[in-house]
Amino acid sequence: MTEAEIDRIGAGLRDRTLPKGEWTHAAHFAAAVWLITHPDLVAERDMPGLIRAYNEATGGVNSDTEGYHETITQASIRAARAWLAARPRLSRAEALEALLAGPFGRSDWLLAHWSRTRLFSVEARRGWLDPDLSPLPF
């Protein structure tokens, strides 16, 4: 993914113009990287509202069973933030490419840390739940 693609995804999420089919696992991490490196935004604070608004703008809903998921979002931000901090000499695009080439690039990476029952619970969707299988590696 290029710097321009990271910017396009981040701005597309913010402006609710990113095509729904492009809102993928990789795009979630690209948006997290964009938010983390955007000087006017705080990813942990701003990404939840951006995702909720984007979901609604693209015909989705945010409910107890679909749409926005707090634990997944915050875990992904933590992973992206730690990944970027450990690689300060890489560009955003290089760091994101490396992140996606490793374990975080798998959409099921969270299941190494949370049981499926806990991760997909209503409580985890509504708020942060700590991992129940193993601590996050950062």
Residue 138 located in a structural domain: no
pLDDT of residue 40: 94
Whole-structure pTM value: 0.96
Residue 135 located in a structural domain: no
Local confidence band at 13 (pLDDT 50, 70, 90 cut-offs) = very high
Local confidence band at 8 (pLDDT 50, 70, 90 cut-offs) = very high
Local confidence band at 81 (pLDDT 50, 70, 90 cut-offs) = very high
Residue 101 located in a structural domain: yes
Residue 97 located in a structural domain: yes
Domain with 97, as residue range(s), is 3-126
Residue 134 located in a structural domain: no
In eight-state DSSP terms, residue 76 is H
Residue 137 located in a structural domain: no
pLDDT of residue 74: 98
- Long-range contacts from 3-11, C-beta under 8 angstroms, 24+ separation: 3/91, 3/92, 3/93, 5/30, 5/93, 6/30, 6/33, 6/34, 6/92, 6/93, 6/96, 7/34, 9/34, 10/34, 10/35, 10/38
pLDDT of residue 76: 98
24-37 pLDDT, tens digit per residue, is 999 999 999 999 99
Average pLDDT on 122-130 reads 98
106-123 pLDDT, tens digit per residue, is 999 999 999 999 999 999
Residue 133 located in a structural domain: no
Residue 132 located in a structural domain: no
In total, how many domains does the chain have?
1
